[in-house]
Structure 1
Amino acid sequence: MTGTLQINGVPAQGAEVRFWPKSEQPGLKYPIAPSGRVDATGTYQLTSYEGPDGAPPGDYFVTVAWPDPDWRPPGGGMPPPPPDRLMGKFSKQEKPVLEFTVVEGDNQVEPIILDDVKILKGSKLPAAAN
């Protein structure tokens, strides 16, 4: 199961797309929240367990976070875990970027295109994304 993500007109390489189940998944103690990392072409493949195995059938909220592993805090020092270049704006289940229903068989997620997005100051991005 694949999809694409563009932010400010460029592929959001390194961004994390996560599918959160809208309701309980019968028989599971912990919910399965499939995710995928965006590659240089803007494409991601979802995985639930291992490899590009997709997502179980069901209804999902889709969120996006874009960690910046190169970000350094002003003034130096030991860096904390990478901050979200999108400052958490698209990572909340309460305000998903998309809602999607996974069915048995092949699924193609509609492209996620986010424009005019404010990016965390100090993040290193392709010139077109700033």
Structure 2
Amino acid sequence: MRNSLWNQFTKVPRCLILFLVVSLPGCGGPEDTRPVRNSVSGVVTYQGNPVEDAIVVFRPVGSEGQTANGRTDAAGAFQMGTFEGTDGVVPGEYSVMISKLEATDTSQALPEDDPNYDPNPKVEAPPKNLLPEKYAKADTSGLTASVPEGEEVTDLKFELND
């Protein structure tokens, strides 16, 4: 009887282990079906000085690739992201657009019961671009980037001038 009990006891863990091994591949959540992306980074300067808080946008040339964007830090350095944060850029050829918008005070809408509420508020002008306007458009920037398949691109330099 003791041998029979031992056999039943050892069968349970084996079944449990088999179940865990079979079910583990599904525990990681849904598979990422988005295109492969390569790490892309670089530096933006304007008249030789680093540009902080510039927006860098990669727009695909043709049907390959997907729009990506990044923001420069105090040293003018940026990292690009396509779907989230700095997740990289889909390989392909890109036109590059760079702009730095003037910081503006954001007005807060007042509730209708506020004595200062204006039902016809004045339209605020869009923020001013602090870099030459030509760099804000893919057609006129003259800036390009190539992201080869399977390679990191860490040395992009966009030197802007008037």
User: By the TM > 0.5 criterion, same fold?
Assistant: yes
What aligned pairs does 1:7-46 form with structure 2 within 5 A after superposition?
Answer: 7-25=46-64, 32-46=66-80
Quick one: structure 1 residues 88 and 106, their matched pair in 2 at CA, closer, same or farther if it must change by over 3 Å? same
User: Size of the alignment, in residue pairs?
Assistant: 106
TM-score, with structure 2 as normaliser: 0.58
Structure 1 residue aligned with 2:135, among 83, 90, 105? 90
- Measured in 2, the distance between the counterparts of 1:13 and 1:78 equals 28
RMSD, aligned CA: 2.1
- Measured in 1, the distance between the counterparts of 2:51 and 2:84 equals 23
Could you tell me which residue of structure 2 aligns to residue 122 of structure 1? none
* Higher radius of gyration, 1 or 2: 2
Question: Identical aligned pairs, as a percentage?
Answer: 27
- Measured in 2, the distance between the counterparts of 1:69 and 1:109 equals 29
- Measured in 1, the distance between the counterparts of 2:48 and 2:146 equals 26
Cα shift at 1:14: 0.7
Where structure 2 has 5 or more consecutive residues not aligned to the other structure, the ranges are 1-39, 106-121
- Measured in 2, the distance between the counterparts of 1:45 and 1:93 equals 19
2:159 counterpart of 1:113 = yes
Q: Which has the higher contact order (CA 8 A, sep 6+)?
A: 1
Where structure 1 has 5 or more consecutive residues not aligned to the other structure, the ranges are 26-30, 72-76, 118-130
Structure with bigger helix share is: 2
